[in-house]
Amino acid sequence: MEWYQVAIVFAVAFLVTYVSVPFSKWLARKMGAIDFPSNRRVNKEPVPRCGGVALYLGMVAACFVIFLGVRFFRWNLPVLFALGDVNYLVLYVGITCMFITGLVDDITQLKAMPKFLAQIAACSIVVFSGVSIGAVNNFGHGFVDLGWMNYPLSVLYLLVFVNITNLIDGLDGLAAGLVAIIAAALLYLAWIRGNYLLVLCCVALIAVCLAFLRYNFFPASVFMGDSGSLVLGLLVGIISITGVVRTQGLMVMIAPLVIAGVPVLDTTSAIIRRLRGHQPIGQADMGHVHHRLMKAGLSQRRSVAALWLCSAALSVMACLMVGAGSRARYIMFAILVIIVAAVSWKFGLFKPVLRHHYENRGNVGPRRPHKRK
């Protein structure tokens, strides 16, 4: 792989996304896909939410350029065994189905169950294309073939990334910035394994996110909507499976989850919070980590910057874990767990589970029972 190839892919992805954003804004207004201010939203003015159209077009254009380079210009992009058996046409269909699901939701506000079933269908198509976990390294003692469990586990893995990206998309520029940081870490992991096709895919993903941030950073003139967040989450899941998870050891397999630690932690706390509150998991609320940062006094810009910084730190930690020895990995992972637990406690991310600790903090004597509303 040559540097000019990286530059071409980045430039195409960036420019196509950049020039497509005005079209996505026009389409959103035409279709009535507008986010109006409410008590569960932070925007103060109506904002179109079909920015995912520009992100999708940018990624498709970049992938088409890669195809042309390999087919007609002799780009040498080793794919290794992890991508050797992938049917790229079926993969494209699966990604497009996820995009269409998000776009329909942006326009018509799909109910939770039909939307989730459509996500499962799109992820299933992706797995059917050949993108799957396959086998797991048995702590250095050979590989364990997952057998029939490979398909449901791979679909579940992709669904996790799709939904954590969707749920974290709550502040201007937050999701796009986090995905760019996650893609940069995955780029490094793909690079050290010599999988240059995935390197270019990561480059394209970073480019579309950076181009979109020109319009999406505070104050945003367009939101990516589900058409953007679902596709970005799916792409991150695909890259992490093919570039890291497939046939890797346990500690290396969790690297993508560490890299995506901010949205993973936020999603986990949101699920617990809603289950304890007897609310649908897909119901929006104001309890996400970015909302808590703003309640703590940070502006929207500083809240986003803080979460970007946390994501970058987790990404560096995950990359160091991959390159470290077995004992060092476990030590680093233990330190990471302690830090995450401290941050979670500080901002009350799991307050519904540990409510009695928070409500009685600083008091003496017997603990007071929680008064139900």
Q: What is the DSSP letter of 84?
A: H
Asked if 294 contacts 277 with a C-beta cutoff of 8 angstroms, the reply is no
Radius of gyration (C-alpha) of the chain in whole angstroms: 21
Residues 6+ away with beta carbon under 8 Å from 108: none
Residues in binding site for Mg(2+): 166, 226
How buried is residue 113: exposed, middle or buried, by Cβ count under 10 Å (0-12/13-18/19+)? exposed
Scanning the structure block, which residue is given the tokens 């040559």?
2
Angle between helices 52-72 and 3-31 in degrees, nearest 10? 150
Q: Which segments within the chain are labelled E, that is strand?
A: 34-35, 47-48, 135-137, 143-145
Contacts of 214 (CB under 8 A, 6+ apart): 18, 21
**Six token digits for residue 239:** 């890259």
Q: Which two tokens stand for residue 267?
A: 């999603």
Contact residues for 289 (Cβ-Cβ < 8 A; gap 6+): 262, 265, 266, 269, 307, 347, 349
Binding-site residues, please?
166, 226
C-alpha atoms less than 13 angstroms from C-alpha of 70 in its C-beta half-sphere: 14
